[in-house]
Amino acid sequence: MNKLYFSLILMIVMGVTSAFAQDNKGHVGEWKLALQRVTASDGRIFQGDSTNIMQRKILTEQNQFIVVGERFIDGVRLASSVHGGHYSLNGSDYIEKIEYRVHKGFEKWKCKFTMTIDGDVMRQVGTLEDGEGVKTVYDELYVRVKSPVNI
């Protein structure tokens, strides 16, 4: 009888653990920026979408990699960048540790966001603080990029 209870409890624990593991991996994959609202430290607001910003975020279970193509807002080229590194995700608290970037000066940046996922839509809201303490608030909406074919 004890073996039966032990087996039953083990099966329940394994089922609950695998369900949590699957939920916590829903963010893994490639994401395309759909909408973005950036509030600079001086209060200026920049808004963009996929028509004027080409940005992809690739998340593995441990690493994040972001490619920002040409970004034009009001006819002004604002950024073209690649960066990445490790991240931590605890519930909806998402913190990026930028470990490499094509531009200098990123070593002291702090990125802290709240991440929520609803199906194939991911929203990240939070702050990027540069090495001098200047904070920029980002509110970004991404859509999951699906593979065109299954291999």
Q: Which amino acid is at 93?
A: D
Instruction: Give the tokens for residue 19.
Output: 């369900």
Residue holding tokens 């690493």? 63
pLDDT at 35: 92
Which DSSP helix (H) or strand (E) runs through 45? Answer: strand 45-49
Instruction: Give the tokens for residue 92.
Output: 């909806």
44-71 pLDDT, tens digit each: 998 887 777 788 888 888 888 777 766 6
Higher pLDDT, 96 or 147: 96
81-125 pLDDT, tens digit each: 777 888 888 999 988 888 877 777 777 788 899 999 999 999 999
Query: Mean pLDDT, the chain, as a whole number?
Result: 76
- The residues facing 87 across adjacent strands are 96
22-39 pLDDT, tens digit each: 345 788 888 999 999 999
| Cβ atoms of 86 and 98 closer than 8 Å | no
Can you tell me whether residue 37 is helix, strand or coil?
strand
Higher pLDDT, 19 or 103: 103
